[in-house]
Amino acid sequence: MPVVVSFGEIMARISTEGYYTFRQALPGSMTVCFAGAEANVAASIALLGGQSRYVTALPENDITDACIGNLRNLGVDASHVLKKKDGRLGIYFVQTGADQRPGKVIYDRDASTFSMTDGDEYDWDEIFRDASILHVTGITPAVSKRAAEAQLYCMRKAKEHGVTISFDCNFRSKLWNWEPGTPKQELAGRVIGEMMEYVDILFAARIDAEAIFGIHVGCSDTLSRIDEQPYVAEAIKRRFPSVKLLATTMRQSISATYNQWGAALYDLSNGCQYVSPCVDGRYVPYDITFIVDRIGAGDSFAAGLLFALQDPELGKDLQTVIDFATAASCLSHSVMQDINFVSKEDVIALMKTGGHGTVSR
């Protein structure tokens, strides 16, 4: 299977145990792992059985060695991680929500090594030598101006090598602070707008389309609904003709631990829509009544879709592709931490049964 390259910042994720709040947990023990949107995608693709390569910049120290070792243990090619003497490892803190109390994320990633690394410091010719897809997100350009410029440089290099570009909008309202005086949504729209001419596969929910591109469909709530997705797809097609596929997840949050989950995929070349899960021609979302950890669900969806597109069997039709991606991301809600520790066989089993949670003996 061809190689998917993923470019972005990996961080230390420090989270409270169980459903403890920060005030309850500290001082005390916290759980540490390594995660970041683009690294999550690379790791999840490898766990599904695909080939992935992760590119980032990290400080030269023992913690970086542990991070790289972790990626390699998961099957990710980390040979192009750039080690530098300056900067630090970014951190984010997670407090898991429960019932009506939402989850919380606190970022601590200023002056990270990645945020201070220029695009021409990476060996893109070697990185893209056998690559088929580059996956990037709207998080990287939100970190710093240099990171934004590095990602644009990376995307241009990918196009020079004939690589398909996948872009997940991932608007983060707590970031985009690097141009004081400019509203965050305005900055995001301007910077990401410049990148869109290179994008072939776009992941964008309605709330991302509104925040970044100013696309409004006349709905005031914060949830994604199946009936609004065709309007988003049509607007994206008009504004960004290079985009061939548009994928979007749809989450209905009944509470922090009970969500309904589904997705849609649009072939913008012919206007065809594929929704998942689909029962007798109707959209029937997964009912996730006990969420273990929802962070990284969108990344697991992107990983599932990119993996399925390149799989000889799954990639034969787009309905199967979106079914696989949606099932993979559904399962990720049952997995602690960001990376989706499920196999291709696990995902296919859910696609066939709809999920029953009984013990496999």
- pLDDT (tens digit, 9 = 90+) per residue, 28-63? 999 999 999 999 999 999 999 999 999 999 999 999
Please name which of 66, 72, 13 lies closest in space to residue 293, comparing C-alpha atoms. 13
Whether residue 312 is preceded by a cis peptide bond, meaning omega within 30 degrees of 0, is no
Q: What is the pTM of this model?
A: 0.94
Structural domain contains residue 360: no
Instruction: Take residue 31 and report the two structure tokens written for it.
Output: 């759980």
Structural domain contains residue 248: yes
What are the φ and ψ backbone dihedral angles of 139, each rounded to 5 degrees? Answer: -80, -45
CA distance 39 to 74: 11
The model's pLDDT over 293-318, given as tens digits with 9 standing for 90+, comes to 989 999 999 999 999 999 999 999 99
Structural domain contains residue 304: yes
CA distance 131 to 127: 7
Instruction: Please give the tally of structural domains in the chain.
Output: 1
Please name which of 16, 108, 23, 34 lies closest in space to residue 71, comparing C-alpha atoms. 34
> How high is the pLDDT of residue 67?
98
CB-CB contact of 294 with 336 (8 Å): no
* Structural domain range at position 61: 3-353
Return the DSSP state at 21.
Answer: -
Structural domain contains residue 361: no
Contacts of 138 (CB under 8 A, 6+ apart): 167, 168, 169, 170, 171, 172, 188, 192, 208, 212
> How high is the pLDDT of residue 218?
61
CATH number, domain with residue 195? 3.40.1190.20
Instruction: Take residue 111 and report the two structure tokens written for it.
Output: 């002056």
What are the φ and ψ backbone dihedral angles of 151, each rounded to 5 degrees? Answer: -70, -40
* Segments of the chain with pLDDT less than 50: 220, 222-223, 357-361
Please name which of 220, 218, 214 lies closest in space to residue 238, comparing C-alpha atoms. 214
Structural domain contains residue 99: yes
The model's pLDDT over 240-253, given as tens digits with 9 standing for 90+, comes to 999 999 999 999 99
Structural domain contains residue 358: no
Structural domain contains residue 174: yes
> How high is the pLDDT of residue 329?
97
Residue type, 143: V
Structural domain contains residue 359: no
